Structure 1
Amino acid sequence: MQIFILEDDEAIGIGLTYSLENEGYAVTLAKSVGQAYDIISNNDFALYILDLTLPDGSGYDVCKKIKKKGDLPVIFLTAFDDEVNVVMGFDMGADDYISKPFRVKELLLRIKSVLRRYNKETADGIIRLQNLIINTNEAKVYKGNHEIILTAMEYRLLLILLNNRGKVLSRNQLLENIWDIDGDFVEDSTLTVYIKRLRDKIEEDPTNPQYIKTVRGLGYIIEDDK
């Protein structure tokens, strides 16, 4: 799972990176608002951890840019005297904050709590997967703030993969669970077409998919965020 950190204090940045990588996360660290803009403009992350006070700007500004991409999880790191401004962060859509100095174990618990809220289906029928939002009650899919129009087959295929997150599904397993509009079974070659069309709609780069991944010789998987 990819986590982005914005922190100009070198000791804190190195310590956070080391601790999170030991927990199995992949970490990208930026030390300035300028660096952060360059990185988040070209990459998506499962979680963003932002310091509030940077030499060239504020974590608030970076949070605004992140939230323009979609409903993505953000945790603020604050000094004690920043706490009076935390409400501003929540108004921008931040999910949590933690004050410096902090215990790494506490931050890890906060991270897992926020990710659970985003990556598990809730009572209102919402499934969140990074930049995708699937409203199962309305059978609608959103990429960031924009609705993606899927065919019935594409939507059914996406739900099958989502309901088996973390599990590789073979082509035969997928074919057993999908059928065309007339109720006929889908042929193997047609499944390839549906996978391609679905990737074209939900992936930033369909040639390098981040959601529906191919496991060579085995099948397809949507990885489960831990």
Structure 2
Amino acid sequence: MKVLLVEDDKTIAAGLDYSLQQEGYDTTICHDVACGKKQIKGNKFDLILLDVTLPDGSGYELCKMVRERSDTPIIFLTACDDEVNVVMGLDMGADDYITKPFRIRELISRIKSVLRRYQKDDESKSIIELGNIKINILEAKVYKNGEEINLTALEYRLLLTFINNIGQVLTRNQLLESIWDVAGDFVNDNTLTVYIKRIREKLEDDPQNPVIIKTVRGLGYKVGG
């Protein structure tokens, strides 16, 4: 779990660095906005802790920069609990704030709480439902009416291609490119037809009249939309 800490007080930063590492976090420390920007541009973090007041700017500037790029969790560390400052930070997209001085256990608790919220969001996004079909992306499992359906690696990869492009018509060439090297075998146009037929037999209530993987005549195939 990678954490970026931007804090100009080097004593506080060193203490937080030690405590976070003891909790198993991989920390990167910055003491100003310039360093923070460099790290945000060049690395991906799981959580960002921002001091509000920095020698060359403010944490708000970094928060705005992060939100333009991602939904990475952000917690403000502030010496001022003035309502205007707190609201400003939250309105800019921060997930929480903690007022200095604070106990390290309180900060760790806040961090875990924020990360749990994001984990739940990620889990909800990982479940795709198409009628009576449910695809759990995290587990790479497919269910029909609550019962698991066994798909081969190629069949699952093909289904995943459709899921990642819901509502879009995919040509046969696009589908072939998506599954080309999965099995290490040559996949030709006829093989693609066979795999789509197999997936329909496993997922559709009536494979002869598919409602999940639809044929768009002259163009290709489409799921949803």
Q: After TM superposition, is the score higher than 0.5?
A: yes
Shift of 1:163: 2.8
Secondary structure, aligned partner of 1:63: helix
More deviation in 57-66 or 83-92?
83-92
Superposition pairs for residues 80-159 of structure 1, below 5 Å?
A: 80=80, 82-121=82-121, 125-127=124-126, 136=128, 159=136
Match of 1:29 in 2: 29
Match of 1:206 in 2: none
Shift of 1:180: 4.2
Task: With a CA cutoff of 8 Å and minimum separation of 6, indicate the structure with the bigger relative contact order.
Answer: 1
Figure out how many residues of one structure are paired with residues of the other and give that number: 154
Letter in 1 for 2:103: R
* 1:16-43 CA distance string (max 9 Å, x none): 0000000000000100001111111111
Identity of counterpart residues, as a percentage? 48
CA contact 2:154–2:183 (8 Å) conserved in 1: no
Q: Go from structure 1 to structure 2 and tell me whether the alpha carbon gap of 1:55 and 1:174 turns closer, same or farther (over 3 Å shift).
A: farther
Partner Cα distance (1:180, 1:90) in 2: 41
Q: Go from structure 1 to structure 2 and tell me whether the alpha carbon gap of 1:174 and 1:11 turns closer, same or farther (over 3 Å shift).
A: farther
Partner Cα distance (1:77, 1:106) in 2: 12
Partner Cα distance (2:20, 2:114) in 1: 15
Q: Quick check: 1:190 aligned with 2:166?
A: no
Partner Cα distance (1:26, 1:34) in 2: 21
Letter in 2 for 1:190: V
Shift of 1:6: 0.4
Structure 2 unaligned regions, length at least 5 = 141-150, 160-178, 186-225
Letter in 2 for 1:114: V
Partner Cα distance (1:137, 1:88) in 2: 37
Which has the larger Rg?
A: 2
**TM-align CA RMSD:** 3.2
Q: Go from structure 1 to structure 2 and tell me whether the alpha carbon gap of 1:103 and 1:83 turns closer, same or farther (over 3 Å shift).
A: farther
Letter in 2 for 1:40: I
Shift of 1:188: 10
Match of 2:139 in 1: 163
Match of 1:54 in 2: 54
CA contact 1:3–1:45 (8 Å) conserved in 2: yes
Q: Go from structure 1 to structure 2 and tell me whether the alpha carbon gap of 1:56 and 1:112 turns closer, same or farther (over 3 Å shift).
A: same
Q: Go from structure 1 to structure 2 and tell me whether the alpha carbon gap of 1:121 and 1:57 turns closer, same or farther (over 3 Å shift).
A: closer
Q: Go from structure 1 to structure 2 and tell me whether the alpha carbon gap of 1:3 and 1:122 turns closer, same or farther (over 3 Å shift).
A: closer
Secondary structure, aligned partner of 2:50: strand
Partner Cα distance (1:82, 1:191) in 2: 59
Secondary structure, aligned partner of 2:40: helix
Match of 2:222 in 1: none
* 1:171-202 CA distance string (max 9 Å, x none): xx973972646xxxxx9942579xxxxxxxxx
Shift of 1:122: 6.9
Match of 2:144 in 1: none
TM-score (norm 2): 0.60
Secondary structure, aligned partner of 1:41: helix
* 1:123-152 CA distance string (max 9 Å, x none): 9x335xxxxxxx7469xxxxxxxxxxxxxx
Match of 1:212 in 2: none
TM-score (norm 1): 0.59
Structure 1 unaligned regions, length at least 5 = 128-134, 139-155, 165-172, 182-186, 194-226
Partner Cα distance (1:48, 1:59) in 2: 10
